[in-house]
Structure 1
Amino acid sequence: MTAPLLPIAAIATAPGRGGIGVVRVSGPDVVSIARAVCGQTLKPRHATYLPFLDARGGVIDHGLALYFPAPHSYTGEEVLELQGHGGPVVMQMLLARCLEAGRDIGLRLAEPGEFTRRAFLNDKLDLAQAEAVADLIEASTEAAARSAARSMEGVFSQAIHTLVEKVIHLRMLVEATLDFPEEEIDFLEASDARGQLAAIRESLKGVLKQAKQGALLREGLSVVLAGQPNVGKSSLLNALAGAELAIVTPIAGTTRDRVRETIQIEGIPLHIIDTAGLREDAADEVERIGIERTWEAIGRADVVLHLVDATDYLENGLSEIDDAIDDRLSGHLPPGSPIVRVVNKIDTAPAASDTMFGGNRPHVVAANGPNPTEIWISARTGAGIDLMRRELLRIVGWQSGSEGTFLARERHLTALRCAQSHLDCAAERADQQAQALDLFAEELRLAQEHLNSITGEFTSDDLLGTIFTRFCIGK
């Protein structure tokens, strides 16, 4: 049996001044600290208003004290929470008093995420739920917060558990067949293994689709504005953000460095990055460095908006420079990141083209072969901006009204894709009949391991350390 961990303490509220601050203590024999600081034995799960006392009996503050006996607490251990006035000095004095009172039982300061890590180790939360706690705290949009709350309640975990149960059932049938080969039962036909596997793969496909939506809510999209100087990148940033964030002038090369702003579209955070104009003959060293940083930003982008001038584009098509930019973009982007050509300044396009292009009204030209999607807009007048917002979400696969979406992280997506890959291999083994039955079983086992890694059934200590050290102290 594992020995109980030493007690820990930390300020659980954010740094700075506030109306209320909380000091949290968790571990064995916390009741002795409560008696020392509160001067009395606390009734479990009842808020008691009282003075918090120093070692000489002087009053540090007045506030509420709550005691939660194990295992009915957040961490599964004894927990004491002291709620006082939220001044940083008062909170530090109260924390220091708790550490002093708990010196004999080994009380120490908590590490980042250690309270939630103990909740995980004591089976109060699985790993996906524990991560959702941090995601809820860090949520940047209302939609992300609601999805994180669903993950914390176990919606994501239940979807994974359901998949694992189905895989385990299929594995059980396979293992039984391998253990009794003399029965000469055609396992694949008698147990409808292919049908069961097909159902599992379809369920996993649905979970992965929801997880991708959740990852968009959590991470958002990195959208880089690229193109030659003076094509309206800064104007587009201002139009999307609804504020004058970037300097706009007719002078080419005004933007020398990246300008970043985060906006929301249907709850999805979009990190819009305006960059220095791309051209061969940089005016000076500062502009050259700016262009280098532009390519660095493009290399990390989820979507690149390649802006071109509508007048030039209508008269001459894609210029040699823009054609070269297109080619370099294709080789510079992460795999799967789309390029969208934005034809800007339609308000200044020649009147002669009105008939051909519908009076310069904003519109989208769907991708055709190697050609990217085109969106025709005017960043100056705002024409087509709403159209662009909708098109960005469509391109990345967002579906509005996803009330059942749960928040997901990149590691969850990786695990789901790995499980999907092993199930695909299992389907191939199934088509090879009985001689591949042991390989079929192995693919199922590997798929189950990847699914279990999401909820923490099979998780290395190194991964746990990485996950929980990113939490705030006190949580």
Structure 2
Amino acid sequence: MSFSYTPSTICAIATAPGRGGVGVVRVSGRDLLPFAQAISGGKTPKPRYATYTDFYAADGSAIDNGLLLYFPGPNSFTGEDVIELQGHGGPVVMKMLVSRCLQLGARLAEPGEFTKRAFLNDKLDLAQAESVADLIDAASESAAKSALKSLKGAFSHEIHTLVDELINLRMLVEATLDFPEEDIDFLEKADAVGRLRRLRGQLQKVQATAKQGALLREGMHVVLVGQPNVGKSSLMNALAGDDIAIVTDIAGTTRDTVREEIVIDGVPVHIIDTAGLRDTNDVVEKIGIERTWQAVERADVALVLADSRDGLVPEVHAILAKLPPRLPRVHVFNKVDLSGGQVGRSEQDGHPVVHLSARTHAGVDDLRALLLEMIGYSGDSEGVFLARERHLDAIARAADHLGLAEADWQMVEIFAEELRMAQNSLSEITGKFTPDDLLGVIFSRFCIGK
């Protein structure tokens, strides 16, 4: 990989903004023992032991007191010398400690720069580095556990295993290029196609697991649409288990999109309650309806609500006709407690149907289970590692190349080239062939201090 950087000493506050019992300032660079001695008043900290000390300003006055930890490289998170100053978590004290670090020659770290240095110094591969941010941002317990698996190398291990198998197969195929008169017979005897098919099967398993991990990370976006006063806000509150949206008997109460994130069986679900869709002269309500259609365009699933006492009236059919054809939708017939209808799931015109009562919560669990089925979530997060969209894209491209390799295996040059392309696609995940500009994008989304 061609990426390079100019080493320098960096520092940042590693704890969350605001006041707390403990605040941490992190420093990374080369030969930081004199740095540690300067800020601790001449003490020589023992590597990987906590040293209780005052932290001193340039004039010798104490800024704070706390613990100083010194991790000499390469046995540190970044692979460089690392110092952590653990003091009291007040914003002013933290700022004073950072200012002192700047006086000693450090500069402020960029977002994700500590983790980027760990990646560049081969302490983490790129998939593991990304999992640091995913662990911090995890929206559910399942997502946090899966992110930790990725951080510990579970995802990387699967990718490395596939790459090793690809390399062995490539060696076999490319060895025949020097003997073109015997290449087909040699590949048949070596069971090259059989090995390729087994490799494709392994990749499919990894792909399925990665998709489950992506769902845990990204979640799904569900939009509630329907006429006014059919119970969209009540259903949102029932799914969320809280009074998020205002509920009244007055049509048009919701005039703007209301967003809430809930967790269903470990999967984050972003629910968007929208303004009721109808013709109106109310300027504010018109704006809300425009935003409704914008939310529909970005959604993964649409819940089309209707009053079970009325069924699919012409106005509801008009809403259905306007939904994007690619958008999966569920027909939700609400208020069965008033209509006396049967609670449960069925199917109508090729679309799933749920009869429920948002007010009494009857049938709401059926809807939760259906939503998970529609996005293909198996419900088993054990062994799942967190994955990102770029990981899924790389795996899909590798699968395509392996498919082309099998289709053209008798054309040895093409066979070899498709295997090479598949290997490169998978290696992007761990960072071996990742473009420099992509690295900049990935680490810029980290928080400062990580």
TM normalised by structure 2 equals 0.96
Deviation at 1:446, TM superposition (A): 1.1
Q: Counterpart amino acid of 2:263?
A: Q
Select the residue among 280, 295, 306 that pairs with 2:293.
Answer: 295
SS of the aligned residue for 1:16 comes to coil
Sort the Cα spacing of 1:184 and 1:157 in 2 relative to 1 into closer, same or farther, 3 A: closer
| Residue 356 (structure 1) aligns with | none
| 2:435 is aligned with 1:460 | yes
Q: Secondary structure at the match of 2:23?
A: strand
1:390-411, CA deviations, whole angstroms, 9 ceiling, x for partnerless residues? Answer: 1111111111232111111111
State the one-letter code of the partner of 1:344: N
Give how far 1:58 is off. Answer: 1.3
- 1:364 paired to 2:345: yes
Report the residue type matching 2:304 in the other structure: H
Aligned partner of residue 309 in structure 2, secondary structure: helix
**Matching residue of 1:94:** 97
The 5 A counterparts of 1:259-408 are 259-279=258-278, 281-313=279-311, 318-331=312-325, 335=326, 337-349=327-339, 360-366=341-347, 371-408=350-387
Using the TM superposition, give the Cα deviation of residue 371 of structure 1 relative to its aligned residue in structure 2, in angstroms: 2.2
Q: Which residue of 2 aligns with 1:242?
A: 241
Unaligned segments of structure 2, at least 5 residues: none
Measured after TM superposition, the shift of residue 365 of structure 1 is 1.0
Q: What does residue range 27-426 of structure 1 map to in structure 2 within 5 Å?
A: 27-38=29-40, 39-102=42-105, 107-279=106-278, 281-313=279-311, 318-331=312-325, 335=326, 337-349=327-339, 360-366=341-347, 371-426=350-405
The equivalent of 1:473 in structure 2 is: 448
Deviation at 1:251, TM superposition (A): 2.3
> 1:321, CA displacement in angstroms?
2.4
- In structure 2, give the amino acid aligned to 1:195: G
Worse-matched range after superposition: 118-127 or 247-256: 247-256
Asked whether the 8 Å contact 1:363–1:376 carries over to 2, the reply is yes
% identical aligned pairs: 61
Distance, in Å, in 2 between the alignment partners of 1:406 and 1:468 is: 20
Secondary structure of 2:269 counterpart: strand
Q: Work out the CA distance in 1 between the residues paired with 2:94 and 2:367.
A: 49
Provide the TM-score with structure 1 as the length reference: 0.91
The alpha carbon displacement at 1:184 in A equals 4.8
* Matches of 2:59 and 2:157, distance apart in 1: 51
For structure 1, which segment, 247-256 or 164-173, has the greater mean C-alpha deviation from structure 2 after superposition? 247-256
Deviates more, 1:112-121 or 1:189-198: 189-198
Q: Distance in 1 between matches of 2:287 and 2:96?
A: 49
CA deviation string 1:370-407 (max 9, x = no partner): 52111111111111011111111111111123211111
Q: What is the CA–CA distance in structure 2 between the aligned matches of 1:327 and 1:196, rounded to whole Å?
A: 49
Question: Contact 2:166–2:419 at 8 Å: present in 1 too?
Answer: yes
Alpha-carbon distance between aligned partners in 1 of 2:248 and 2:96, rounded to the nearest angstrom: 55
CA deviations on 1:257-279 (whole Å, 9 max, x unpaired) are 00111111111111111001112
- Find the residue that maps to 1:391 and give its secondary structure: helix
SS in 2 for 1:243: coil
Paired position in structure 2 for 1:12: 14
**Per-residue deviation, residues 22-46 of structure 1 (Å, max 9, x unmatched):** 1111111211111110122211111
1:181/1:36 CA distance change after superposition, 3 Å: same
CA RMSD of aligned residues (A): 1.6
User: 1 CA distance for matches of 2:152 and 2:404?
Assistant: 33
State the alpha-carbon separation in 2 of the partners of residues 327 and 449 from structure 1: 44
Q: What residue identity is the alignment partner of 2:9?
A: P
Which residue identity is paired with 2:301?
V
Q: 1:247, 1:89 → 2: CA distance? A: 41
Per-residue deviation at 1:228? 1.5
1:440–1:183 distance in 2 versus 1, CA, 3 Å: closer
Q: Distance in 1 between matches of 2:215 and 2:107?
A: 38
Distance in structure 2 (CA, Å) of the matches to 1:40 and 1:243: 54
5+ residue gaps, structure 1: 352-359
What is the rounded CA distance, in whole Å, between the counterparts of 1:184 and 1:59 in structure 2? 76
Cα separation, 2, equivalents of 1:330 and 1:391:
20
Q: CA deviation at 1:208?
A: 1.0
1:98, CA displacement in angstroms? 1.5
Tell me the matched-pair count: 447
Deviation at 1:3, TM superposition (A): 8.1
Aligned partners of 2:208, 2:157: CA distance in 1, in Å?
16
Cα drift, residue 91 of structure 1? 0.9
Rounded to whole Å, the distance in 2 between the matches of 1:53 and 1:42 is: 15
Deviation, structure 1 residue 185: 4.8
Secondary structure at the counterpart of residue 386 of structure 2: coil
Partner of 1:443: 418
Q: Separation in 2 of the partners of 1:454 and 1:283?
A: 52
| Separation in 2, partners of 1:365, 1:158 | 42
Distance 1:228 1:3, change over 3 A: closer
> 1: CA distance between counterparts of 2:299 and 2:186?
48
CA distance in 2, matches of 1:244, 1:22: 38
Q: Distance in 2 between matches of 1:243 and 1:283?
A: 32
Q: 1:303 to 1:185 in 2, by over 3 A?
A: closer
Q: 1:355 maps to which residue?
A: none
Change (3 A) 1:35 1:283: same
Contact 1:4 1:28 in 2 (8 A): no
